[in-house]
Amino acid sequence: MDSGKHSEATTVTKPETKDKGKAVTWAAPLSGYSVSTKAVPHPRPGWKKGVAITDFILRLGAIGAALGSAVTMGTNEEILPFFTQFLQFHAQWTDFPMFQFFVVANGVIGGYMILALPFSYVCIIRPHTIGPRLGLMIVDIVMMGVATGAASSATAIVYLSHNGSRDANWIAICQGYTNFCQTSSEAVVLSFVAAISLMCLVPLSALALKRT
């Protein structure tokens, strides 16, 4: 931005300086940001690179959390060691549509985050690039919504499993299915970690987009 200002100033004052009869070589400023002269110092903001690296690391964390929660929940199953003639006591994640959504959503988020890594890497190499940054940011926001939604609806089920609802006459199933509930809770916590990572990624992208 500073370089932009100075190059503009140079263009405007051009007629006046010419009158002094000195031969000055002027580079045509194709864009306001690409021109640098030796007379004007050119402070290159290093913090944008820092932001891009933080972005990349947060993405790695979010991949681990999202895929971890999807796998944890997707393998969540418990068979109780007693059964009646007609009934085997068996709980698994497919019993609840919210848990199904949870697994699919976290799988999709993990997959997207892996695909987004190259773009994030481009932003490290070229901290001033706008296109990939803006694209990543918009998809990040949508994914953040999906992650929060999946984690919250699963949390509601985990809560009901633990405590039941006396008013609705829903019994707490966790007294029986201890491991199932434990694993579900872990998956939900991991999913919230992914959601919060995504929540941090969005303002980081905004900072990188901001004019300095």
Residues engaged in binding a second copy (CB under 8 A):
1, 4-6, 8-9, 11-13, 16, 32, 40, 91, 95-98, 130, 134, 137-138, 141-142, 144-145, 148-157, 159-161, 165, 167-171, 173, 195, 199, 202-203, 205-207, 209-211
> Is 100 or 114 the residue whose CB approaches a second copy more closely?
100
Asked if residue 171 lies in contact with residue 151, where contact means CB atoms within 8 angstroms, the answer is no
Half-sphere exposure of 201 (CA within 13 A, CB side): 33
- Minimum distance, C-beta of residue 12 to a second copy, in the bound complex (Å): 4
Q: Which of 32, 118 has the CB closer to a second copy?
A: 32
86-94: Cβ within 8 A, 24+ apart:
89/176, 89/177, 91/173, 91/176, 91/177, 91/180, 92/180, 93/184
Nearest to a second copy of 189, 202 (CB atom): 202
Query: Other CB atoms closer than 10 Å to residue 89's CB: what's the count?
Result: 14
Least CB distance to a second copy at residue 211 (A): 4
CB of 68 to a second copy, least distance (A): 20
Please report where in the chains the tokens 């008013």 appear, as a residue.
167
Q: Which is nearer to a second copy, 67 or 144 (CB)?
A: 144
Of how many residues is the chain composed?
212
Q: Which is nearer to a second copy, 20 or 85 (CB)?
A: 20
Closest CA to 205 of 40, 27, 59: 59
Which is nearer to a second copy, 96 or 112 (by Cβ)? 96
Query: Taking the complex as a whole, how short is the minimal distance between the CB of residue 200 and a second copy, in angstroms?
Result: 9
Q: How far is the CB of 80 from a second copy (least distance, A)?
A: 13
Angle at the Cα of 129 (from 31 to 111), degrees rounded to 5? Answer: 160
Residue whose C-alpha is closest to residue 158's, from 137, 141, 138, 180: 180
Residue 135 C-beta: closest distance to a second copy, Å: 10
